[in-house]
Chains A and B, each alone.
Chain A
Amino acid sequence: MVTVARPARPGLRSVPLVAWAIRNRGRIAVRLALWLILLYFMFPIIWTLSSSIKTRAELYAPGAPTLIPLEPTLGNYTYALRKLTGFDLFYRNSLIVTLGAVALQTTAATLAGYGFARLRFKGRDLIFYTMVMLIFVPRAGGLMAQYELMSFLGLRNNLLGLILAFSAGLAVPIFIMRQSFLNLPADFEDAARVDGCNRLQAFWHVMMPMVTGSMAVVALFEFIRVWGEYLFTLTMIDDPKLFTLGVGMAMTLIGTTVEFGDFTSYGAQAAAYVMAAAPVAIFFLLLQRWFVRGLMEGLKL
């Protein structure tokens, strides 16, 4: 925005605030428009946060819904934790599956990225490009074939099955890790090797510490994907005790209208949504610096 400072003329323009507003009208217009659009992005989140701390009376009050609760309460949260059947189990299952898949995928992708970038062996490029090309093959019966495979391996209705399947989406993570190892100068590693490190030590002490940013990006993407996964879990898990949060909440919370004391399932549902979204939101906020930078650098390649 180009703003041109004009000499103040007498009249309204000599009032400092007005003069400031006129001088900065471009910036003010940009911000007003931007805030309006971001309100659309944020409103469902703000509204859920607000509903989760309202009392029953306020939730069902006729007239204009309030955005800032008159009498904020944490009752919905304790109600959700005590009364929503299975919520704690779903939470535990989501944590096991997500942490397992993130750890397994990040480890496998980092090791493989190093191997594909730094070591010479027969079939290396063939294997790598086969993995990349498979991204473009349509997933026609993929879910059915996975169902078949999981049944065959005895991994249906099994959290380990979910971890293995989720961590196997390795094409993009390996691509990212390979790229970041390729971007490192070879000298560091050669120096370490000359100093008597074996390959594993050189990888662990010299190379890996230099790609932690990319590892964070891989881990964050996987965390977001697995924490929010729905369809595969719905298909592979029949046992309600093994549901993860997404499936469990959609299956059991939708349409329940149990009322309990001062709270209803509606306020408690909002509280449950907040608690279910909290880990991934916090993880994102902690890592967002690496994430946005990684995304921007990755796209420039």
Chain B
Amino acid sequence: MADSYGHTSESRAAAWLAAARGLRHEAWGEALAGYLFIGPAVVLFFLFNAWPVLRGLSIAFSDYRYLIPNHQPFNGIDNWLEMGRDPDFWASLGRSVEYTVVYVLLNFVLAFLAAVLISQILRQREAAIYRVMAYLPVVLPVAIAMLVWRQLLNPEFGYAAYALKQLFGKAAPDLLRDPAWALPSLAVAASWKTMGTNVLLLLVGLYNINQELYEAAAIDGAGWWSRLRHVTMPLLRPTFTIVFVLAAGILGDVEPSLIFFGVTDRGPQDAGLLVGRYAYETAFRLGDLRWGYAAAMNLTVGLISMAMSAVVFRALRSGRV
């Protein structure tokens, strides 16, 4: 039985089989190559990143005390019952809220102004220089940024104290040691370091706005303010969403306080004891090193941050802001 090409069915079947075997061989070789290519990254990621995250979640539901050998009993929601009664937790959470509000407002207002103004610069080289200047604080190590701000706010030889005195005519309060000023000072210093990220995010949004919309608005007689209010702001809404969703993570900040006041110093009247720092100290400095309770606090703060992000996300999505 031969077909029009002169192949017998046997030889056709053999050809098919050979081709299939070749394909299988090829697919198998590709799969092997795939595993080899992703192998190093997958091992690194799942061992040093994914595993600690998942293991860390389970710690939150235990009474793990690191200094007591083999003491990590599951305790359900006991950590949350304790948190409800723990005045230190609530006080530190309150400080973190104040810190976040000062931080985010300052950060957002200045970043927005800087981004809008930079977007007006049409000469590309000049705009690039401004973008680099705005982003430079972000690349600095957080330790150096905080130490520099400590010196800047130092009442004896810091420039801020001098400038405030010139501005208001009388000596400024000690911005580092005055209990009322220490926390806002920390928020100002910490927000300074991260503003550049928001400048760049907002600039991306601004550059993506179609210039014809501004021209149309200008023809309709809109001044710069109404163009900002009715063209720029609504079209930047997706960018605002990103900026504020990222900002929610600031509630759990630890590093700025540890450096600004020092690892062993919580600031005047514990002003620098943010909730993230309280959890960190609970885990690594205080008593039995209560990992379970600390992880539960972190989880709570993380969930509050996510809830805040979700609220902002929905509000900006639906256009109520």
CA distance A29 to B54 in the complex (A): 53
Residues on the B chain within 8 Å of A224, using CB: 138-139
Considering the chains assembled together, what is the distance between the CA atoms of A97 and B56 in angstroms? 25
Contact with B along A31-75 (1 / 0, CB 8 A): 101100110111111011001000000011000110000000000
Closest chain A CB from B136 CB (angstroms): 7
Contact B283 A144 (CB under 8 A): yes
Query: Which B residues are CB-close (under 8 A) to A40?
Result: 110, 192
Inter-chain contacts of B144 with A (CB < 8 A)? 228, 246, 249, 273, 276-277
Report the minimal beta-carbon distance from A240 to chain B, rounded to whole angstroms.
13
How far, in angstroms, from A235 to B56 measured CA to CA in the complex? Answer: 15
- A295 near B200: Cβ-Cβ < 8 Å: yes
Chain B proximity of A187: nearest CB distance (Å): 18
Do B114 and A230 touch (CB < 8 A)?
Answer: no
Residues of chain A lying within 8 A (CB to CB) of residue B143? 228, 230, 245-247, 249-250
- Asked if A141 and B59 make an inter-chain contact with CB atoms under 8 angstroms apart, the answer reads yes
B180 at the interface (CB under 8 A from A): no
Q: Please tell me if the beta carbons of A230 and B255 are within 8 angstroms of each other in the complex.
A: yes
- Answer whether residue A122 sits at the interface, using C-beta atoms and an 8 A cutoff: yes
A136-163 vs B: 1/0 string, CB under 8 Å? 0111111111101100000000000000
Cβ–Cβ contact B201 & A170, under 8 A: no
Kindly provide the distance from the CB of A133 to the nearest chain B CB, expressed in whole angstroms: 10
- Is there an interface contact between A115 and B37, defined as CB atoms closer than 8 Å? yes
Chain A residues whose C-beta falls within 8 Å of the C-beta of B34 in the assembled complex: 115, 119-121, 124
Tell me the nearest residue of chain A to B44, going by C-beta. Answer: A168
CB distance from B245 to the nearest CB of A (A): 11
Q: Which of B110, B135, B145 contacts A37 (CB 8 A)?
A: B110
User: Nearest CB to that of A144 among chain B residues?
Assistant: B291
A149 with B31: CB separation less than 8 A = no
Interface hits, B244-284 → A, CB 8 Å:
254-255, 258-259, 262-263, 280, 283-284
Q: Is B137 close to A, CB under 8 A?
A: yes
* Total A-B residue contacts, Cβ distance less than 8 Å: 280
- Asked if A217 CB lies within 8 Å of chain B CBs, one says no
Chain B residues, CB < 8 A from A138? 57, 298-299, 302-303, 305-306
Chain A nearest CB, measured from B59 CB (Å): 4
Interface residue? B318 (CB, 8 A): no
Interface flags, B130-169, vs A, CB<8A=1, else 0: 1111111111111111111111100001010010000000
Is chain B's interface secondary structure helix, strand, loop, or mixed overall?
A: helix
* Cα of A51 to Cα of B148 in the assembled complex, Å: 11
The answer to whether A137 and B208 have CB atoms under 8 Å apart is: no
B210 interfacial by beta-carbon distance below 8 Å:
no
**Which residues of chain A (265-286) have a CB below 8 Å from chain B?**
266, 269-270, 273, 276-277, 280-281, 284-285
Find out whether the CB atom of A47 lies under 8 angstroms from the CB atom of B159. Answer: yes
Which of B27, B56, B133, B201 is within 8 Å of A145, CB to CB? B56
Is A12 on the interface with B (CB-CB < 8 A)? no
Q: Are B142 and A38 in contact (CB under 8 A)?
A: no
- Stretch of A15-23, A76-84, A103-111 with 4 or more beta carbons under 8 angstroms from chain B: A103-111
Instruction: Pick from B137, B259, B263, B306: contact of A45, CB below 8 A.
Output: B137
CB neighbors of B among A74-129 (8 A): 104, 107-109, 111-112, 114-116, 119-122, 124, 127
Q: Does A258 contact B (CB under 8 A)?
A: no
Does B117 touch A at the CB level, under 8 Å?
yes
B183 within 8 A of A: no
Which single member of A130, A277, A285 contacts B132 (CB below 8 Å)?
A: A285
Q: Which of B2-10, B11-19, B45-53, B89-97 binds A? A: B45-53
Q: How distant is the Cα of A156 from the Cα of B208 in the complex, in angstroms?
A: 47
CB pair A145 B59 closer than 8 Å: yes
Point out the residues of chain A lying under 8 angstroms from B146, CB to CB.
250
B225 contacts the other chain (CB 8 A)? no
Query: Once the chains bind, are A230 and B283 in contact (CB under 8 Å)?
Result: no
A182 sits at the interface (CB 8 A): no
Contacts of B117 in A (CB 8 A): 30, 33-34, 37
The reply to whether the CB of A263 lies closer than 8 angstroms to some CB of chain B is no
Do A140 and B262 have beta carbons less than 8 Å apart? no
**Bound: A111/B44 CA distance, A:** 13
- CB of B74 closer than 8 Å to a CB of A: no
Contact (Cβ within 8 A) B141 A116:
no
**How near does chain A come to B30, taking the closest CB pair, in angstroms?**
5
Interface centre among A43, A60, A170 (most CB of B within 10 A): A170
Residue of A nearest to B305 (CB): A138
Pick from B48, B136, B141: contact of A284, CB under 8 Å? B136
**Residue in A37, A111, A112, A249 whose CB lies within 8 Å of B113:** A37
Structural contact, A234 and B258, CB atoms closer than 8 A: yes
Given contacts A111-B41, A121-B35, A227-B141, 14 further A-B contacts (CB under 8 A): A30-B120, A37-B117, A42-B133, A109-B41, A112-B38, A119-B30, A139-B302, A140-B56, A140-B59, A145-B55, A250-B147, A269-B147, A281-B136, A299-B204
| The 4 A-B residue pairs with the shortest CB-CB distance in the complex, in nearest-first order | A138-B302, A141-B56, A141-B295, A115-B37
**Which positions in A face B, CB cutoff 8 Å?**
1-2, 30-31, 33-34, 37-38, 40-45, 47-48, 51, 59-60, 64-65, 104, 107-109, 111-112, 114-116, 119-122, 124, 127, 130-131, 134, 137-146, 148-149, 164-165, 167-171, 174, 199-200, 203, 224, 227-231, 234-235, 245-247, 249-251, 253-255, 266, 269-270, 273, 276-277, 280-281, 284-285, 288-289, 292, 295-296, 299-300
11 residue pairs of the A-B complex, CB under 8 angstroms, read A134-B53, A137-B54, A140-B57, A140-B302, A142-B56, A146-B48, A146-B52, A174-B45, A235-B284, A246-B143, A280-B139
